[in-house]
Structure 1
Amino acid sequence: MRRALGIPKTTDILQHIESLPPPRQATASEAVRSIERQAMASQAPQPGLAALMAYLDDRAVPKAICTRNFDVPVRHLLDTFLPASPFDPVVTRAFKPPKPDPAGILHIARRWGLPGAAGLIMVGDSIDDMAAGRRAGAATVLLVNGVNGGLAAHEYTDLVIERLDDLVAILEDGFEGRDASQRRDGAGGKDGHLADEPTSAAL
């Protein structure tokens, strides 16, 4: 995408588009959407996706999506691989400001009637995902792959998994983010590695 827009790797794509004059914004936005549409043809579910969704759905755990993509490829992914698994809300890049700003995750929390994101888990594979989750106050889980391993030790990453269904055993034992552990320990908690099962998941 950056090559199509003629920008370096250090430049945020969405911020760059927002900085352009209106006629160029429209052209650049369509160039990005065209690439995303082409990528739809090769979409494949992450390993462990079906098992994790079945676990969450069996327990009526609400799920949402917070993404920097536009709605067409997101809807294609859901309709193709998760037609029976509800996600609400689905926050795309039409929502401003996008990740890494925490606004999208906080919007999800409000839609679910929660006072904040402390009970949410943000699962993702990018620094934008980890940053948005941490800034919102959610627990963060990095789905590690061949290109993002450097984020495993990042201060914004609470937990690292290799497959989505690795989360099942973790949720059974109880998991919370670093911020929540520090808040509880500061209030007199003594078992920093133990926690109640999170009630919500934002992906």
Structure 2
Amino acid sequence: MHRATQPSRQLYRPFSITSRRASRKVGSMAPRRFAPLDPAKRKEGDERPVLKGVVFDVDGTLCLPQNYMFAEMRAALGITKETDILDHIYSLAPAEQDEAQMKIRAIERTAMASQRPQAGLVQLMDYLDSRAIKKGICTRNFDAPVDHLLTTFLPKHIFHPVVTREFRPPKPDPAGILHIAKTWMHEDGGESLIMVGDSADDMVAGRRAGAATVLLESDANRHLKEHECTDMAVGQLDELIEVLEEGFKGKDFGEET
């Protein structure tokens, strides 16, 4: 835990957020844009919005992917690859849910010892701090692996809020991202934010929240570059620095109808 440098971690009780953005149309949107964060590159009369915050996924985004965990979790729960792990757990009776959660947490605790940071991780976080851009986390992990990653690789950086598995509904529902935006007192939902992740759930949740979306590309997810909810793809995290300095522009989906 980051007790010395980070606000006390909130544990979120299960609940739902309803919003006009929760059912936001995922396709047919004009390119998402933000003004350059470098003040010297802003021009008078530039009507592009200013980026206010970035929300990050964890596994596969802040740290290298540990996808082997999902096969281990499904084996422990006795479910197939086609079944969403959290959907399955939440469909169980309360006592069975507790047992299932214990099984997958044990797998995550073992895996967190081998966490490795993504390339460009610290450089991007240093840059966002230098531009006073808020940082939050929205993940389907539980809190221990998240704490381990932040304590080990980003001990000087503040992420708040940190939305973990205790918050329901999870991604791809936009509720977690909308909660972060509300905590930051953003009246436009996620429209002044960027969601950075490595999965379809991240892209869909970001788009439904109204945020711009950035895919951290890998061999396993390269097909998601063409996903209707992906605004931009980068090969490593610090590639975002130049993008944000010069002004963010996502791909063209066509005008919204």
TM-score for both structures, normalised by structure 1: 0.86
Please give the alpha-carbon distance, in whole angstroms, between the structure 2 residues aligned to 1:148 and 1:180: 20
Does residue 3 (structure 1) correspond to residue 68 (structure 2)? The answer is no
Ranked by relative contact order (alpha carbons within 8 Å, sequence separation 6 or more), the top structure is 2
Deviation at 1:152, TM superposition (A): 1.1
Please give the alpha-carbon distance, in whole angstroms, between the structure 1 residues aligned to 2:219 and 2:235: 10
Q: Which moved more, 1:120-129 or 1:3-12?
A: 3-12
Does residue 157 (structure 1) correspond to residue 208 (structure 2)? The answer is no
1:68-95 per-residue CA deviation (whole Å, 9 max, x = no partner) reads 0001110111011001111000000101
Percent of aligned pairs with the same amino acid: 62
Please give the alpha-carbon distance, in whole angstroms, between the structure 2 residues aligned to 1:174 and 1:156: 20
**Superposed, which structure 2 residues align to 1:124-163 within 5 Å?**
124-163=197-236
TM-score for both structures, normalised by structure 2: 0.69
Distance of aligned partners of 1:121 and 1:176 in 2 relative to their CA distance in 1, 3 Å threshold: farther
**Superposed, which structure 2 residues align to 1:169-180 within 5 Å?**
169-177=242-250
Does residue 33 (structure 1) correspond to residue 105 (structure 2)? The answer is yes
Is contact 1:139-1:176 (8 Å) kept? no
Letter matched to residue 109 of structure 2: R
In structure 2, stretches of 5+ residues that fail to align are: 1-72
Dislocated runs of 4+, deviation >4 Å: 176-183
Letter matched to residue 238 of structure 2: D
Please give the alpha-carbon distance, in whole angstroms, between the structure 2 residues aligned to 1:180 and 1:154: 11
Q: Where is the helix percentage greater, Structure 1 or Structure 2?
A: 1
What do you get for the CA RMSD once the two structures are aligned? Answer: 1.7
Deviation at 1:23, TM superposition (A): 2.1
Is contact 1:66-1:104 (8 Å) kept? yes
Q: Which moved more, 1:169-178 or 1:27-36?
A: 169-178
**Superposed, which structure 2 residues align to 1:70-85 within 5 Å?**
70-85=142-157
Match of 2:115 among 40, 43, 62: 43
Letter matched to residue 106 of structure 1: L
Corresponding residue number in structure 1 for 2:181: 109
In structure 1, stretches of 5+ residues that fail to align are: 187-203
